[in-house]
Structure 1
């Protein structure tokens, strides 16, 4: 059983500026109020394989999760197409995937974030817990993602 949610925010900035914000992992603690700290685990520019530890405040608690870039297609990628990136994490028997897609529209950029959570080795107990608590967790996650999108928009529009 997996849980998935998707939100879109129109940003009055070109895709390159939006991309610059979402891929500046070291600065994300300054951009996103929910992120308390970032510890980079790899060096170099944002690309597939980039890894970091992110500490985020959720439900009054700080949780640190190791994250990595699984896919990266910048706006200037040869061959055109939508710019997008996928970030993954694994914690407490669950896999998390966050996908950002950028589409230019009306002189700005639509930024769509899709978040999915799935149990990696589901048991009867974990399936029951996901059925009971999963919808609440996804509502909380959806609110956090909406706040992240608004903060990404504010930062990109100020560049």
Structure 2
């Protein structure tokens, strides 16, 4: 049972490689994203399938540490990360598409899904009644993430 699916997107005045570098710099997510208060990388090596880290943030009503893992990585076009939080799976897909007449900008689309098939009936009923509040807050967090990614990509590209 999918609880919510949120789509957000923006166009960033920096090339896809620069935006990719920001998204995949998980060691510094707490310096870039205002919604992340701490980050700890759990695996060795560069960003790719299997990379894992722990971060503290609030998303879909869950607050606290969550462990994330890269499920898919197609640099610099697409990546999918997943976190298991309680009985829920939260999956976020990032899609980067060159934009602008000279392809020096990036259209960044994020799709975040919470999968709640392992929740109890009571928990599912509570979600049905109050999940809209969590949805609205999470949508705002994801919009802030896009703003923060854009600001950092532009900073790194020297656009600001």
TM-score if structure 1 supplies the norm length? 0.90
Within a 5 Å distance, the mapping from 1:1-159 to structure 2 comes to 1-2=1-2, 3-57=4-58, 63-75=64-76, 83-106=77-100, 107-159=104-156
Give structure 1 regions of 4+ aligned residues with deviation exceeding 4 angstroms. Answer: none
CA–CA distance in structure 1, aligned partners of residues 130 and 40 of structure 2: 30
1:62 CA displacement: 5.0
1:91-149 deviation digits (Å, cap 9, x = unpaired): 11111001100011113000001000011323321221121122211111100000010
Higher mean Cα deviation, 120-129 or 47-56? 120-129
Judged with a 3 Å threshold, the aligned counterparts in structure 2 of structure 1 residues 62 and 140 are, in CA distance, closer, same or farther, namely same
CA–CA distance in structure 1, aligned partners of residues 34 and 114 of structure 2: 22
Identify the residue that residue 79 of structure 1 maps to in structure 2.
none
Tell me how large the CA RMSD over aligned residues is.
1.6
> Structure 2: which 5+ residue stretches go unaligned?
none
* Alpha-carbon contact 1:36-1:57 (below 8 Å) kept: no
TM-score if structure 2 supplies the norm length? 0.89
> Structure 1: which 5+ residue stretches go unaligned?
76-82
